[in-house]
Amino acid sequence: MAQVFPLVFLTALALTTALRAWLALRQLRHVLAHRRSVPAEFADRISLAEHHKAADYTTAKTRLALVELGVDTALLLVFTFGGLLAAFDQFWRGAFAGPGYGHGIALFASIGITGFCVGLPTALYRTFVLEARFGFNKMTPALYIADLAKQLLLTVAIGGPLLLAVLWLMGAMGSLWWFYVWTAWLGFNLLVMLLYPTFIAPLFNKFSPLAEGEMKTRIEALLARCGFASSGLFVMDGSKRSAHGNAYFTGFGRAKRIVFFDTLLDKLAPAEVEAVLAHELGHFKHRHVWKRIAAMSALSLAFLWLLGQLIDQPWFYGGLGVAHPGTAMALILFSLVLPVFAFPFGPLMSWLSRRHEFEADAYAARQAGGGDLVSALVKLYRDNAATLTPDPLHSLFYDSHPPASQRIAHLKSA
């Protein structure tokens, strides 16, 4: 197995990378082939110049994704067969006089910092060049650095203790450690959902109560019709980072909050905002959030069980260029290897997500009117420069929402 696994992994990596590159090239060709004219169903609402902008924005993002694909694949090979993981492991074993909690946390930090540094150039390019070129970026370098500093502090303050707990459970709970880790991970995610609206999100954005007026009156009436109780209606200053707009509700129980980006309120009429919120409430009414949590929980349990079968197999480590087995190294290797084998199954999750989107759209059409939601969606497609003509196969793998033409057609039929 020690001789076979490297070949299996390299074959899977080559096939997955080739598939992702092929999908990106299909997207480029398809979007550019339909750049010359606006689809007939949108011709009365989207100008040719706006259609050109969406096509150019999509192709620019796709080309950057191809660059990131090459960088990520190269980094994965350097980590494994290039010996960088083994070098980090050896260094920290010497620094901490052998494996242990300090060694494990330092190993994770080394991998995280390396990945961050390698990905920083494309991240900066995306924000300050690509997004700025199309008029979306509003973030200053100072704000970008401040956000990074806050994210680092949160990672250390929250991620550090969580990682320590996981490593302890892996070492102390015997052969069923994967079940205890899954339980802790599930509890952690539910706790974050509870705390995020009131303690984490305000570290990055300012949330102000929605002002009195027609908008608030409409929304409160909608909430009453839908039987949705929240802890408040808030406007988020999303415009200080981006011109993109959105609305969402977050948290659960008494901590549920409804949040509107200020950019969304500036672009949509009150009836359209009501329709967008009705769509979000449709997710709540159909229990989509809990269904997705259940699906992700089942997947994470299966993945942790699989790791439990691999953690004591020397070929798993040796086949990826690592000489010394260990709990921290097992977690790192598994997190690096899993996406390579899991990517072909992406359409299954996209299918589930799209089904939920159609159900939420249908709910919104009943509660607030399909015409207003169609109008709002067209404005959002236009203002966010979302392509109206994605490649169907690329969309099947990557898009959690149905293509614009399908979504609008479903709403009109409803």
Q: Rounded distance, CA 309 to CA 178, Å?
A: 10
Q: Rounded distance, CA 152 to CA 159, Å?
A: 10
- Tokens linked to 13: 């990596």
Q: Rounded distance, CA 311 to CA 293, Å?
A: 26
Residues that constitute the known binding site:
279, 283, 357
Helix (H, G, I), strand (E, B) or coil at 249: strand
DSSP 345: G
- Tokens linked to 290: 């809990």
Q: Rounded distance, CA 20 to CA 36, Å?
A: 26
Residue for token pair 């509890």: 187
Asked if 71 and 119 touch (Cβ cutoff 8 Å), the reply is: yes
Active-site residue (options: 131, 361, 383, 391): 361
The Cα angle at residue 249 between residues 140 and 282, in degrees rounded to 5: 135
Residues that constitute the known binding site for Zn(2+):
279, 283, 357
Which residues share a beta bridge with 247?
260
Neighbour count for residue 237 (Cβ, 10 Å): 14
Q: Rounded distance, CA 361 to CA 348, Å?
A: 20
Active-site residue (options: 131, 272, 280, 383): 280
Told to judge if 280 belongs to the known catalytic residues of this protein, a careful annotator would answer yes
**Where on the phi/psi map is residue 36: left (φ > 0), alpha (ψ -120 to 50), or beta?**
alpha
Told to judge if 212 belongs to the known catalytic residues of this protein, a careful annotator would answer no
Residue for token pair 């110049």: 49
Provide DSSP, 164-206.
Answer: HHHHHHHHHSGGGHHHHHHHHHHHHHHHHHHHIIIIIGGGTS-
N-terminal to C-terminal alpha carbon distance within the chain: 55
- Tokens linked to 352: 């589930």
Residue 220 amino acid letter: E
Residues annotated as catalytic (active site), given as ranges? 280, 361
